């Protein structure tokens, strides 16, 4: 499939054509001269059948000072999680995310919002993963409700296929699953918010969703998308219930999502692993 054919296919998957996000946004952006400016990219893969999950996160500020934080965790690891972090690494202004290396962390995005390669190695553990998007990226700024100025200039969310290998203590855990990534650039001031719920989920290559509900400035704000049945539409309603353990960690999350096509999506979930990750520079 040519690049033009794939772009046309992605456009046809959008219920609202105005939600189209230019593939050039897969690359690095020029950050404004303002407080709390940062560009960041995380990737997430959950492997409940194997008792493993991985979270990788990289960031760079307007002075091109970058870092990363990564974690491999889950009940399959009796010795506990493997966590790595590096900050304060000076990059070049023209360094881009197609060849992004910080110490033992490497990210290569195709700058077409379609494919990526992630590699991370540390003492006793490694992650090698290929990501392939399964639907058009959802951009907050293109949503008719917009993106908040303190949250980012824009932020994209995208599900996809995740294939690779996690290695811990010499044992390899190959996987062929689904995953999620986002990419934000602009002001990142989370202290303004009172509370938020952030949900991503996939079911094979045909279903992906993201819900972001935030309590801020006396309002309840809602953003997100549902991709299923070959159509992607904005989230318009969200109701959920959940259970917490004695440490206030999530045990279950169940709920209902409605979208701009009038569809209803019902989800149930249970938690198999919890791992705090503090990527803030």
The whole-angstrom separation of Cα 264 and Cα 235 is 10
The whole-angstrom separation of Cα 182 and Cα 224 is 12
180: nearest Cα among 228, 143, 131: 131
Contact 139, 20 (CB under 8 A): no
pLDDT tens digits for range 16-67? 999 999 999 999 999 999 888 999 999 999 999 999 999 999 999 999 999 9
179: nearest Cα among 130, 139, 226: 130
Phi, psi of 26, deg, nearest 5: -70, -20
Q: What is the pLDDT of residue 280?
A: 62
Place of tokens 């949250």: 151
Q: What is the pLDDT of residue 277?
A: 84
The whole-angstrom separation of Cα 15 and Cα 20 is 10
pLDDT tens digits for range 157-208? 999 999 999 999 999 999 999 999 999 999 988 888 999 999 999 999 999 9
153: nearest Cα among 33, 23, 17, 16: 33
The whole-angstrom separation of Cα 145 and Cα 143 is 5
Q: Going from the N-terminus, what domains does the chain have, and what CATH number goes with each?
A: 3-192 (2.40.370.10)
How many CA atoms does the CB half-sphere of 185 hold within 13 Å? 13
Q: Give residue 119's pLDDT band: very low, low, confident or very high (50, 70, 90).
A: very high
Contact 224, 137 (CB under 8 A): no
CA dihedral 256, 57, 99, 142 (to 10 degrees): 40
Q: What is the pLDDT of residue 13?
A: 95
Record the pTM.
0.95
């Amino acid at each position: 499939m040519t690049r033009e054919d794939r772009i046309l296919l992605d456009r046809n998957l959008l219920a609202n054509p105005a939600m189209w996000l230019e593939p050039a946004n897969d690359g690095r952006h020029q950050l404004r001269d303002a407080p709390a400016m940062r560009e960041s990219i995380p990737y997430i893969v959950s492997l409940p059948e194997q008792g493993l999950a991985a979270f990788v996160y990289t960031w760079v500020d307007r002075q091109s000072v970058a870092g990363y934080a990564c974690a491999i965790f889950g009940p399959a690891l009796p010795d506990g999680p493997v966590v790595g972090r590096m900050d304060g690494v000076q990059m070049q202004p023209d360094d881009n995310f197609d060849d992004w290396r910080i110490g033992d962390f490497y990210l290569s995005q195709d700058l077409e919002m379609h494919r990526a390669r992630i590699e991370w190695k540390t003492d006793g553990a490694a992650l090698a993963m290929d990501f392939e998007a399964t639907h058009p990226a959802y951009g907050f700024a293109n949503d008719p409700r917009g993106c908040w100025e303190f949250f980012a200039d824009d932020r994209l969310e995208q599900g996809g296929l995740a294939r690779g290998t996690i290695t811990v203590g010499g044992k390899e855990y190959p996987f062929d699953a689904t995953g999620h990534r986002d990419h934000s650039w602009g002001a990142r001031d989370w202290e303004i918010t009172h509370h938020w719920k952030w949900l991503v989920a996939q079911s094979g290559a045909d279903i992906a969703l993201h819900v972001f509900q935030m309590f801020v400035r006396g309002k309840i704000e809602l953003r997100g998308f549902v991709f299923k049945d070959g159509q992607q539409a904005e989230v318009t309603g969200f109701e959920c219930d959940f259970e917490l353990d004695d440490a206030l960690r999530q045990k279950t999350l169940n709920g209902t999502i409605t979208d701009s096509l009038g569809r209803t999506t019902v989800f149930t979930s249970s938690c198999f692993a919890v791992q705090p990750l503090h990527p803030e520079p």
